[in-house]
Amino acid sequence: MRIFRLIKIFVVVFRFGLDEFLLGHERVSAWRPVVRGVFFWRDLTEPRGVRLRRALEALGPIFVKFGQVLSTRRDLLPLDIADELARLQDRVPPFSSEVVLETLQRAYGPSADKVFREFDYTPVASASIAQVHFAVLHDGRKAAVKVLRPGIKPVIENDVALLQVAAGLIESIFKQGRRLKPKEVVAEFEKTIHDELDLIREASNASQLRRNFLGSKLLLVPEMFWDFCQPEVMVMERMSGTPVSQIDLLRANGVDLKRLSRHGVEIFFAQVFRDGFFHADMHPGNIFVAEDGRYIALDFGIMGTLTDEDKSYLAQNFIAFFRRDYKRVAQAHVEAGWVPKGTRVDEFESAIRSVCEPIFDRPLREISFGKVLLRLFQTSRRFNMEVQPQLVLLQKTLLNVEGLGRELDPDLDLWKTAKPYLEAWVSEQVGWQGLVKQLRDEAPSWAKIVPQLPRLIHRLAVETRDVIGEDELAKLVHQQKRQNRWLVALTVLIGALLALQIHWLMG
């Protein structure tokens, strides 16, 4: 089965002239005239990005999905190719109502017909992984039902295996192959698409996001009907709204587009810097606008999270950018090991300054963070900077948010809108608020350890006396006595923090 798939891939590759990408390499460039002579019938007048996009569409939904993911990696791709891949859409025909019924029966057993009072077998949306139907539950609640595309898992496994082989060839042939981490990119894609195959996981993502924004005046997230959610079927509250891409209709409905664009930026930064959990697929097809002007989020298969280390990196860089301290930005990258140890900080600092300094010399509303990111990516190539997959979703989502905001309001000032959130978060991370928060988080552990310190110190003293003798031990005891007052002060502080924490919990 896999051999036939491989043959089809080779046919498509030669049909759209994708071999030209490989033949451009110096090791095999001598073969280019030969290949062109053999395949003289091919029309290669279209730009390479267009031919790549059409080839992925011809190879089917999994390759289309891979192209969509790859389009977000502007740190890896030339801009003409990244821009073209960003146009990829899921042009996938829906599967039949008979197949939908089989999936429902497999999920719910013989009682499948008792779950829904009404079920519309004509899908309202169809994509490479799943399609969505409208339904009504027996208690009268209107629902949207997401049904996984049957038989998709073995197709994905076969295609991902072939992508892994291609990634290995790229690393072997191209000089920059290893730095671009093609194997990691494929692994990232594999993880992402496998996560989307488990609709229980997607439902839990939606539930978390809904809890984070419960009562929000900015964002609505559908409720999950957990009693009916299965790995192949997800049932959620049906949401009514206008697609955010239909700007003329939004304007006709009296929606304040400038306000809407600001709210989109606020929602993104609240997710990232308040919650550390954000919707990472915020393209217009997944966003609607309710009658009351609030955003409606849909499709929760791809979510992003930030670790404490990621946040620390972001904090250092944001503070340095605020102060125009490009040397600190360069040092932060070197300290994190993201550029080679031998990198000259002054040269890296100069390169970063050339990217960022123009930002501060132009009106804020004219600044495009997307363009700044792209220039930073280009700079990273020059200094062999390691690709950091954990921040790619954040970068990609910021590009989506800015693009959407500019469509709604061409004068959107992303920096001015985001700055209050960034300043508040930086204060929480590195200021006194951050210190208090860390002390409060660690207080329960310290409260358990501090009472044991006298016993631990006594045990250490006994063991140390046997090793270093009485005289050296006396010196250590004298030093310890001077430090005891700090230990007492620390204990009092911990007690106060515990009391404060209990007060917060009880209040």
Which tens digits make up the pLDDT trace of 358-399?
766 565 466 666 566 666 666 766 777 766 655 667 777 777
331 pLDDT higher than 80: yes
**Range with the largest mean pLDDT of 155-159, 413-417, 494-498:** 155-159
Distance between CA atoms of residues 216 and 357, nearest Å? 37
290 pLDDT higher than 80: yes
Residue 121 pLDDT class (50, 70, 90 cuts): very high
87 pLDDT higher than 90: no
Q: Is 280 helix (H, G, I), strand (E, B) or coil?
A: coil
Q: Record the tokens describing residue 412, joined without a space.
A: 């959107």
CB 404 within 8 A of CB 244: yes
Q: Record the tokens describing residue 477, joined without a space.
A: 């005891």
C-alpha distance from residue 33 to each of 20, 24, 27, 52, 287 (Å): 11, 11, 14, 21, 48
DSSP, res 43: -
Q: Is 118 helix (H, G, I), strand (E, B) or coil?
A: strand
pLDDT digits (tens, 9 = 90+) for 294-316: 999 999 988 888 877 777 777 67
Count Cα neighbours of 313 within 13 Å in the Cβ-side half-sphere: 15
Residue 83 pLDDT class (50, 70, 90 cuts): confident
Q: How many helices (H) and strands (E) does the chain have?
A: 22, 11
CB 221 within 8 A of CB 210: yes
Of the two residues 140 and 417, the one the predictor is more confident about is 140
497 pLDDT higher than 60: no
Q: Record the tokens describing residue 102, joined without a space.
A: 């089989």
- Residue from 478, 456, 474 nearest 465 by CA: 474
Predicted confidence at residue 506, as pLDDT, reads 45
Q: Which of 19, 75, 159, 281 is catalytic?
A: 281
What pairs with residue 97 in β-bridges?
none
CB 307 within 8 A of CB 300: no
Predicted confidence at residue 44, as pLDDT, reads 74
Measured torsion, CA atoms of residues 173, 174, 177, 178, in degrees rounded to the nearest 10: 70
Of the two residues 188 and 230, the one the predictor is more confident about is 230
343 pLDDT higher than 70: yes
Distance between CA atoms of residues 301 and 438, nearest Å? 32
- Residue from 411, 92, 99 nearest 261 by CA: 411
Q: What is the mean pLDDT of the chain?
A: 77
Q: Is 455 helix (H, G, I), strand (E, B) or coil?
A: helix
262 pLDDT higher than 80: yes
Q: How large is the C-alpha radius of gyration of the chain?
A: 28
Amino acid found at 447 = A
**Range with the largest mean pLDDT of 149-158, 162-171, 394-403:** 149-158
Of the two residues 199 and 478, the one the predictor is more confident about is 199
Average the pLDDT over 276-303 and give the result: 89
Q: Record the tokens describing residue 207, joined without a space.
A: 């539930």
- Residue from 262, 257, 244 nearest 418 by CA: 262
Active site residue 413: no
Helix%, strand%, coil% for the chain, nearest 5: 65, 10, 25
Concatenated DSSP letters of 165-222:
HHHHHHHHH-TTHHHH-HHHHHHHHHHHHHHHT-HHHHHHHHHHHHHHTTT-SSEE-P
Predicted confidence at residue 323, as pLDDT, reads 74
Count Cα neighbours of 148 within 13 Å in the Cβ-side half-sphere: 24
